[in-house]
Amino acid sequence: MEHFWEINKLSVSYKTMDGMTKAVDQVSLYVDRGETIGIVGESGSGKSQTQLAALQLIPVPPGRIDEGEVLLSGRNLLSFSRKSREMREVRGGQIGMIFQEPMTSLNPVKTIGAQIMESITLHRGLAKEQARKEAVALLEKVGILDAESRLSDYPHQFSGGMRQRIMIAIALAGDPEMIIADEPTTALDVTTQAQILELLHQLSVEKHIALVLITHNLGIVARYASRIYVMYAGNVVETGTAEEIFHQPVHPYTKGLLKAVPRLDSEDERLTPIDGVPPSPANRQKGCQFAPRCRYATEACLDGGIPPMQEIAPGHFAACHLSSVRQTAATAEQEKQENKKPKPAPGEEAVLRAEDLCVSFAVRKGLLMRESGRLEVLRNVNFTLHKGETLGLVGESGCGKTTTAKAVLKLLNEATGKVWLGDQDLLAMPERTFKKQRRRIQMIFQDPYSSLDPRMTAGGIVGEPLFPYGLVKTRQEYDKRVDELFRLVGLEPSMRDRVAHEFSGGQRQRIGIARALATNPDILICDEPISALDVSIQAQIINLLEDLQEELGLSYLFVAHDLSVVKHISHRVAVMYLGTIVEITSSRDLYLDPLHPYTRALMQAVPIPDPSAEKQREQVILGGEVPSILRRPEGCPFSNRCSHATDLCRKEQPQPKEVKEKHFVACHLY
């Protein structure tokens, strides 16, 4: 049968300093008309490169298409040159593309109208006036209000979600038969992500457009894709229907990936990380690319060349030397044992308490910069962190979660209220006294690439606080302590003299954790500690944090936007919206019985990596976007998006109430 879009044995390599590196290696896949497929893989797996190369959009040189065919309705696109008319008609005409970063994917100096109309006039040959009408219709279709007048606006005047809608409008402008969406929602908030995915899904059904979803997020493809390709290090390692991939995965990498991702609907079992790091395109293995990280790897896997695709069931293929039977029951049993370790219960003693924590910045105007108003970033935030407990702080961008973390650390002069560390108020304390206390409360940062000094050795970074705090007296003690810290976070002490760029992302985050632990803190503030890491690495860091908590009795304030991760790691979770905590309760309770309408919407927006669970879930997608803090509604901050909002909600801000035992909600409904 002829498929609409078929890639056969496509190989792409790049010329780098170390010679030619294979980015895509013999990848084959197909899409039928009107079908939605998912391509899943981590960074460097070649998932985007395959599609870009198929459309000849990779830069040549340094890139090069070594071999393969790309058939569009049976016509081999690679037989046309990169800049040929045929190729240009396919791009944007038959195939539209949507990219990851809506912030940078639109030209900042051209109006969005011009950018949409350009495609319409090019591919449909319409005159300017008609193209304009068509652009308005497209913008309305993708959900941009006031489309007519917004045509002459520039991209920076739109929010991230709106820009992604504009990207979709551009992709639709040429009336395509297929849309390739390359991580279309990775940079977006979770409720916006749900809106964008739903929009793409509806459009593909309505216009019978084939949709290729490229993503690292298994949850997204579980909800929408009918077939899935799993890619690893430039190869497709497994392909099948969504049900097959999620319920009967065969390849150890697919299995590992499914276990490494915390699920919203699972009990707090320990995650099973995939050991090691994904290989970079520069150092590909001889045999199976996954073999060095595979629990089941044998000699044959390491030297036997890249395993061929084997048909497991009709349409279900996997590239593995081992049949699924060989992966013994014993190992599975052992895994179960490992996983069943329950999370230790936290103590009763409060180590950190925020009381009416507020942060507001002065808004200054005019020539004399007189204060014209105050921008309230945090409004009366209250929470208590107990000894050995993890308190998750979750919310979408701009909700004030990072501001809370900074305020607690006394990094913001604008913070008012009280932060009790034991029985001392940190905010009232003069800086000099606080210096001694700072040892007790440390921070782990989001970006392991920019938060480590590139010119310092790893050992130097980790050991830096030791002498100033008087934690070590002599050089020997110092060396001993640094080695100890390295071992604590699972790094070889012999790596001490390396500098940051010699480490992988996961290792760098370990260095960041070791640095935070150097002062023997009681509390760690983790600000999105895993969001910059690859999926298979995230589980390693989550497990490390859990182990350290058990071993050292640490308390964590865990700030993140990913609800599944927060729910997994936390004992209790606080949900934030526009600078206030709207709900705070145990993580189990939060999943089973979310009370605040925002929490419910957030829960529904988080995709679950399980197609059958996804089908059973009710789908109510929260409309609108998180407003800017400058335009916070009167009364309840959520009132303008809430379907239950009453006049009372719009007038008066609800105070937190204990609705059930230890379950606090700030909502007028309760």
Partner 1 sequence: MGRYICKRLLQAILVIFLISVFSYFLMYLVPGDPVYAVLGSDITREQYMEQFYLMELDKPIIIRYVHWLTRFLTGDFGTSYRYSVPVSELLAQRLPITMYLGIISLVISVILGVLCGTICGTNRGKAADNILTVLANLGSVVPGFWLAVVGMYIFSMNLGWLPSYGFAFPWEGAGVAASLKQTIMPVVCLSVGSIAGLTRQMRSGMLEVIRQDYIRTARSKGLKESTVVVHHAMKNAIIPVVTIIGLSLRNIVSGAVTIETVFSITGMGSLLVNSILARDLPVIQACILIIAGMVAISNLVVDICYGYLDPRIRIQ
**What is each CA distance from 342 to 267, 348, 403, 613, in whole angstroms?**
10, 18, 32, 24
Cβ 165 to partner 1 shortest distance, Å? 14
State how far the Cα of 481 lies from the Cα of 475, in Å rounded to an integer: 10
Cβ 175 to partner 1 shortest distance, Å? 12
Residue number with CB closer to partner 1 (90 or 516): 90
- Of 222, 310, 308, 317, whose CA–CA distance to 264 is shortest? 222
H-run or E-run covering 10: strand 5-16
One-letter amino acid of 65: I
H-run or E-run covering 540: helix 535-552
β-bridge mates for residue 357, sequence order: 381
Backbone angles phi, psi at 132, to 5 degrees: -65, -45
User: How many CA atoms, within 13 angstroms, populate the side-chain half-sphere of residue 433?
Assistant: 8
β-bridge mates for residue 526, sequence order: 444, 558
Which DSSP string do the residues of 438-464 spell out, in sequence order? HTTEEEE-S-TTTSS-TTSBHHHHHHT
Cβ 171 to partner 1 shortest distance, Å? 8
Residue number with CB closer to partner 1 (57 or 499): 57
Which DSSP string do the residues of 21-72 spell out, in sequence order? EEEEEEEEEEE-TT-EEEEE--TTSSHHHHHHHHTT-S-TTTEEEEEEEEEE
> Which residues contribute to the site for partner 1 (CB under 8 A)?
55, 57, 59, 61, 83, 87-93, 96-97, 99, 101, 104-110, 118-119, 122-123, 154, 156-157, 167, 170, 173-174
Cβ 55 to partner 1 shortest distance, Å? 7
Dihedral sign computed on CA atoms, order 322, 323, 329, 334: positive
Cβ 533 to partner 1 shortest distance, Å? 22
State how far the Cα of 97 lies from the Cα of 76, in Å rounded to an integer: 19
**What is each CA distance from 502 to 218, 454, 458, in whole angstroms?**
30, 10, 10
Please count the residues of the chain: 670
Cβ 85 to partner 1 shortest distance, Å? 9
- Of 286, 166, 225, whose CA–CA distance to 40 is shortest? 225
Residue number with CB closer to partner 1 (156 or 374): 156
Residue number with CB closer to partner 1 (361 or 478): 361
Residue number with CB closer to partner 1 (110 or 341): 110
Residue 436: Cβ within 10 Å count: 11
What does DSSP assign to residue 75?
Answer: E
Query: Do residues 587 and 394 make contact, with C-beta atoms less than 8 angstroms apart?
Result: no
Residue number with CB closer to partner 1 (83 or 475): 83
Can you say how many angstroms the Cα of residue 178 is from the centroid of all Cα atoms in its chain?
A: 26
State how far the Cα of 12 lies from the Cα of 53, in Å rounded to an integer: 7
Query: Do residues 357 and 343 make contact, with C-beta atoms less than 8 angstroms apart?
Result: no
Residue number with CB closer to partner 1 (87 or 297): 87
Residue number with CB closer to partner 1 (167 or 319): 167
Residue number with CB closer to partner 1 (96 or 594): 96
Cβ 45 to partner 1 shortest distance, Å? 19
Cβ 119 to partner 1 shortest distance, Å? 5
β-bridge mates for residue 478, sequence order: none
Cβ 283 to partner 1 shortest distance, Å? 25
Residue number with CB closer to partner 1 (112 or 542): 112
Cβ 161 to partner 1 shortest distance, Å? 17
Q: How far apart are the first and last CA of the chain?
A: 59
Residue number with CB closer to partner 1 (51 or 442): 51
Residue number with CB closer to partner 1 (57 or 297): 57
Q: What is the dihedral of CA 428, 430, 435, 441, to 10 degrees?
A: 10
State how far the Cα of 79 lies from the Cα of 88, in Å rounded to an integer: 13
Cβ 278 to partner 1 shortest distance, Å? 23
Residue number with CB closer to partner 1 (107 or 646): 107
Backbone angles phi, psi at 547, to 5 degrees: -65, -45
Cβ 111 to partner 1 shortest distance, Å? 8
Contact residues for 210 (Cβ-Cβ < 8 A; gap 6+): 4, 5, 31, 32, 33, 34, 35, 36, 37, 177, 178, 179, 204
Q: In what order do the strands lie in the sheet with 75-76?
A: 19-31, 5-16, 63-72, 75-76
Residue number with CB closer to partner 1 (62 or 308): 62
